[in-house]
Amino acid sequence: MAADRPVASADGTEEADLAKAFQELARGERTATALENQLSSMEAKIEELLARAERDQQEAESHRARGTGSEGGQDAAPAETEQDSEHRST
């Protein structure tokens, strides 16, 4: 079955081309592996951030439900002082 085997040229350029193609393929696979590893790392970080955000949200809701949230006017704008009103009037 001579058709199954490529005919080699006298100067071996087909073998060189094939070797170069395999090298490029191997380099592409290494690049793909590195990208997959980076994506997996990023995915793990995103999952960690989402879990932390969910815990923080649940904790905030729990504090609000118990009435320990923003007591003392922490969320409200600070009251205007006499100095503030004097500066505005001048």
Give the pLDDT score at 72: 47
> Quick one: tokens of 58?
């649940």
Would you say residue 41 has pLDDT above 60?
Answer: yes
Q: Mean pLDDT, to the nearest integer, of 29-35? A: 98
Query: Does the predicted TM-score (pTM) go above 0.85?
Result: no
Task: Give the whole-angstrom CA distance, residue 6 versus residue 13.
Answer: 12
Angle at 44 between CA 42 and CA 47, to 5 degrees: 110
Tokens of 37: 């590893």
Q: What pLDDT, on a 0 to 100 scale, did the predictor assign at position 18?
A: 94
As a whole number, the mean pLDDT across the chain is 80
Distance between CA atoms of 61 and 53, rounded to whole angstroms?
12
